[in-house]
Every structure is written in C-alpha cells, then in structure tokens.
Amino acid sequence: MRLSPVFPAIAIAAVMVLGNCNSAAADDRETCKTASGDTAIEACTRAIESKKYNGAKQKRVLSLLYTNRGVEYEIKKDFEHAIADHDQAIKIDPKNPAPYNNRGNAYVAKQDYEHAIADFDMAIKLNPKYAEAFFNRGMTKKNHGDIAGGDTDIAQAKVLQPGIGATR
C-alpha cells in the first residue's frame, strides 16, 4: 500500500491544530485566572466549554474556572450569574472552599447576610486556615451588629495572614 505524499502533511497539520486547541484551552485557563472583566469571563467560558477539564482529576480546575467567572460577574453586579457559577463550582467540587467564600461575597453584595455567613462558615469548615473567609465573615458580622464576633474573626484572619485587610 502506497500513501499519498499529501498524507504526512495532513497528519502534521492535524497534530498542530490539536496541539493548538490544548494550548488555547490552557491559555484561556490562565487568562481566566489573571484577566478581569469581559476578557476574563470570555476566557473562563471558553476554558469551561473546551471540556478539557471535565475529567475526575480536573474537577478542582473546572470548579475554579466557574468560581473565577462568578467573581467577575459579581464585580459587574450580575449577582444572579455570579451565584449560579459559584453554585456550579460547588456542585463540581463540594470540598473546594473558594466557591463558598466567593458566593458568600456575592450574597453580601445582594445584602443576603444570612446566606453569606453560612457560606463563609462552610469555607472555614473546609479550610480552617482560610484567612480571607475569616476576614469576610468578620466584616459581614461587624457590619451587621455582631461587633465581638466580627472582631474575633478578623483577628484570626490576621493571625493566619498578617496584613490582610490593610489599606494603602
């Protein structure tokens, strides 16, 4: 059997295209983590839709893609999309504390403090050294009347991460 001289060129082109798809998904994952606004939302969406992160070993990555996109929606004040993305991140990886913390922030923005504190509680339960969740819960408590509880949480956040909450 004799192969056409075009066959090797087609095979090389196919490998290059497939290689570019994987690196594009990796680039989108990086852009999802580092960019902001619509650029980040679009990159997160492409990375999610690439299905590259659907395997069992990639569930934490997929969860983070959803929660990163949710944070960007929250910044745009699109709280429904933000919470839906954090919900999806939690569904994918319920042991990942980041989406609970991030969903808690979205609930704070919606002035749903009861749900916010419950989410910060869960983030802390999953990672007792999660300084940001302690800080967020502390600020939420303080801003809603539980000054002592808030001060305790903020103090714990500062033990875990000195300088957290400092303004320049």
The pair of structure tokens assigned to 43 is 């990159």
For 36, the 3-state DSSP assignment is coil
Per-position b or e across 111-122, b if 16+ CB within 10 A of its CB: ebbeebbbbbeb
Q: Give the least confident one: 22-26, 58-62, 121-125, 153-157.
A: 22-26
Domain-by-domain residue ranges, the chain? Answer: 27-128
Instruction: Please answer whether residues 149 and 155 qualify as being in contact, where contact means their C-beta atoms are separated by less than 8 angstroms.
Output: no
With vertex at residue 94, the alpha carbon angle to CA 160 and CA 151, rounded to the nearest 5 degrees, is: 30
Fold of domain 27-128: 1.25.40
* Residue 122 in this model has a pLDDT that exceeds 80: yes
Q: What is the pLDDT of residues 47-95, one digit of tens each?
A: 999 999 988 889 999 999 999 999 999 999 999 999 999 999 999 999 9
Cα–Cα distance for residue pair 5/19, rounded to 1 Å: 22
Instruction: Please answer whether residues 92 and 59 qualify as being in contact, where contact means their C-beta atoms are separated by less than 8 angstroms.
Output: yes
Cα–Cα distance for residue pair 119/29, rounded to 1 Å: 25
Instruction: Please answer whether residues 132 and 154 qualify as being in contact, where contact means their C-beta atoms are separated by less than 8 angstroms.
Output: no
Task: Report the predicted TM-score, pTM, of the whole model to 2 decimal places.
Answer: 0.81
Q: 131-143 and 97-109 helices cross at what angle (nearest 10)?
A: 20
- Predicted pLDDT at 27: 87
